């Protein structure tokens, strides 16, 4: 069946699948690295055993999530050469150095200190180990910084010129890195990572509180997660609003698709809550809408005019139904996160944070919500950029390699099977670790004895008072 689909569409599906699978792991590891740094810092500052126990509980989960994030992302760089060679050739002079900076300044920082963080607490001492944990957390942030700079330049390109070969070449690196949408995208994504981690930590804490309300580790992690949610969820909504206004300025077509505005509204646009976008007919069927609210949100005036997709050539329309619904999934989950944070404040005020079973069940159900919201937000951003890879400058149809559909279909099928098998097992093992109750004296990651994988056979150890056998 896939062999009969257009090769360009298959290549887009393949990249979309691998990115959607990959993005959930960095979103989790960015937040979890910072959470681990906070836990270890609190342990050093207070000496409370519960903080180091929680650090050891979550560091095992972090190690697996971090590894899966690295491995799941490797194949994307190969796809630039196999499926998107024209895109790689035309954008390489601009995006190639940015990707190299990510490796040099972020990945090396993470990799350099990760081994110390995971295995060397007893060898380097708690303060130096805390420094290693901080460096890993900072490394994850810098990694997000460079990757989001790359993505933001594709959304709002500036600071470049075009050479005789048709390649984008750098003219102003400051303008390239700090392009118009980058600050908004960076803040929005980092806070999304913190919310994703808070929801997972809160769900695990809620699970163990439902089993044992006196569990100190469960109480502590749940309380910390709910504080993070209560503080960051409203900030994320404000950041999302600012990001939306920036998108309206630089990518108005994307906002038109998000809002479902096929027609222009000269006297104030309604906010369409739900409906069925019909791209062919250019309308939203069965729309449930609030009059003039979209103009109030986007232009801060009830009667402010808003242009619709009828002002844009149809060949430049993104797939409106996909963008319309992914945006609503993201926003709806954001509202639920805000509700959970507010309910946690109410429970805390009433002294029922650890006794309110309904709150714990709500938090448990919201555990995966951060991942779904991140993927929905990514779909809104990337599909809303279509039909361009570099917005307004390089079309997606002009970016692909000259491949035959059966070849792309075969690799896509292989990716789907391998990803679900390998990473599915990894996710199941993470869930298995989360199902275990945190307890006092939590063991950390045990490096164990060295394992010989290649090279010279290591010399045997000699027990005191024992002579070596001639054969040894």
Q: For residue 333, give the nearest of 195, 230, 241, 222 by alpha carbon.
A: 195
Distance separating alpha carbons of residues 213 and 46, to the nearest angstrom: 23
The b/e string for 72-106 (b: 16+ C-beta within 10 A; e otherwise) is: bbebeeebbebbbbbbbebbebbbebbbebbeeeb
- Map residue 288 onto helix, strand or coil: strand
The b/e string for 213-233 (b: 16+ C-beta within 10 A; e otherwise) is: eebbbbbbbbbbbbbbbbebb
DSSP annotation of 394: E
- Map residue 235 onto helix, strand or coil: helix
Give all strands (DSSP E) within 90-237, no chain letters.
160-162, 168-170
Name 285's bridge partners: 276
Hey, where are the domains in the chain? 7-248+322-379+405-434
First to last CA, the chain: 62
Digit-by-digit pLDDT tens for the chain (472 residues) are 555 578 888 889 888 888 888 888 888 989 999 999 999 999 999 989 999 999 999 999 998 888 888 888 788 878 888 888 899 899 989 998 888 888 887 777 877 888 888 887 778 888 888 999 999 999 888 888 998 999 999 999 999 999 988 899 999 999 999 999 999 999 999 999 999 999 999 999 999 999 988 889 899 999 999 999 999 999 999 999 999 999 999 999 999 999 999 999 988 889 989 889 988 888 889 988 898 888 888 888 888 888 989 899 999 999 999 999 999 999 999 999 999 999 999 999 999 999 999 999 999 999 999 999 999 999 999 999 999 999 999 999 998 888 888 888 888 898 889 888 888 898 899 999 888 888 887 676 665 544 444 445 444 444 444 443 433 4
Task: Check if the beta carbon of residue 27 is closer than 8 Å to that of residue 200.
Answer: no
Distance separating alpha carbons of residues 396 and 389, to the nearest angstrom: 5
Distance separating alpha carbons of residues 360 and 222, to the nearest angstrom: 9
Two tokens, residue 268: 């104030």
Task: Check if the beta carbon of residue 258 is closer than 8 Å to that of residue 294.
Answer: no
pTM listed for this prediction? 0.88
Task: Check if the beta carbon of residue 334 is closer than 8 Å to that of residue 373.
Answer: yes
- The alpha carbon of 77 is separated from its chain's Cα centroid by a whole number of angstroms, namely 17
- The DSSP result for 416-451, as a single string, is HHHHHHHHHHHHHHHHHHHHSPP-TT-------S--
Quickly tell me which residue has 């789907």 as its tokens: 416
- Map residue 402 onto helix, strand or coil: coil
Cβ atoms within 10 A of the Cβ of 238, count? 11
- Map residue 161 onto helix, strand or coil: strand
């Amino acid at each position: 069946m896939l062999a009969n689909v257009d090769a360009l569409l298959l290549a887009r599906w393949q990249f979309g699948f691998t990115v959607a699978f990959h993005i959930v792991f960095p979103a989790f590891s960015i937040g979890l690295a910072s959470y681990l740094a906070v836990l270890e810092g609190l342990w050093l500052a207070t000496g409370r055993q519960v903080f180091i126990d929680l650090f050891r509980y979550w560091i095992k989960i972090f190690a697996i999530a971090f590894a899966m994030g690295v491995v799941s992302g490797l194949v994307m760089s190969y796809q630039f050469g196999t499926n998107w060679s024209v895109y790689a050739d035309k954008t390489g002079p601009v995006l190639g150095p940015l990707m190299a900076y990510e490796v040099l300044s972020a990945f090396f920082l993470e990799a350099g200190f990760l081994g110390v963080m995971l295995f060397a607490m007893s060898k380097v001492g708690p303060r130096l180990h805390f420094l290693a944990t901080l460096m890993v957390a900072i490394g994850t942030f810098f990694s997000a910084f460079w990757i989001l700079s790359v993505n933001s330049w594709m959304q709002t390109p500036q600071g470049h010129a075009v050479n005789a070969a048709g390649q984008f070449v750098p003219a102003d690196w400051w303008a390239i890195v700090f392009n118009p949408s980058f600050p908004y995208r960076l803040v929005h994504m980092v806070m999304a990572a913190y919310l994703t981690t808070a929801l997972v930590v809160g769900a695990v804490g809620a699970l163990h509180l439902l089993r044992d309300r006196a569990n100190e580790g469960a109480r502590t992690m749940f309380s910390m997660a709910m504080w993070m949610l209560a503080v960051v969820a409203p900030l994320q909504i404000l950041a999302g609003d600012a990001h939306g206004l920036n998108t309206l300025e630089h990518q108005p077509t994307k906002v038109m698709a998000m809002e479902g505005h096929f027609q222009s509204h000269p006297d104030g646009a309604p906010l369409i809550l739900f409906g069925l976008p019909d791209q062919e007919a250019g309308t939203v069927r069965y729309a449930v809408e609030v009059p003039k609210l979209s103009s109030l949100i986007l232009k801060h005036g009830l009667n402010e005019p808003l242009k619709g997709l009828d002002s844009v050539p149809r060949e430049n329309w993104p797939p409106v139904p996909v963008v319309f619904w992914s945006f609503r999934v993201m926003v709806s989950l954001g509202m639920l996160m805000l509700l959970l944070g507010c309910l946690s404040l109410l429970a805390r005020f009433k002294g029922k944070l650890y006794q309110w079973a309904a709150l714990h069940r709500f938090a448990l159900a919201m555990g995966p919500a951060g991942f779904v919201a991140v993927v929905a937000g990514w779909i809104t951003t990337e599909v809303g950029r279509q039909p361009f890879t570099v917005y307004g400058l390089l079309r997606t149809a002009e970016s692909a390699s000259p491949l035959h559909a059966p070849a792309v279909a075969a690799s896509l099928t292989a990716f789907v099977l391998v990803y679900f098998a390998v990473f599915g097992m990894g996710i199941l093992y993470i869930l298995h670790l989360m199902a275990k109750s945190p307890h006092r004296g939590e063991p950390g990651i045990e490096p164990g004895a060295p394992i010989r994988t290649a090279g010279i056979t290591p010399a045997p150890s000699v027990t005191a008072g024992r002579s070596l056998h001639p054969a040894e």
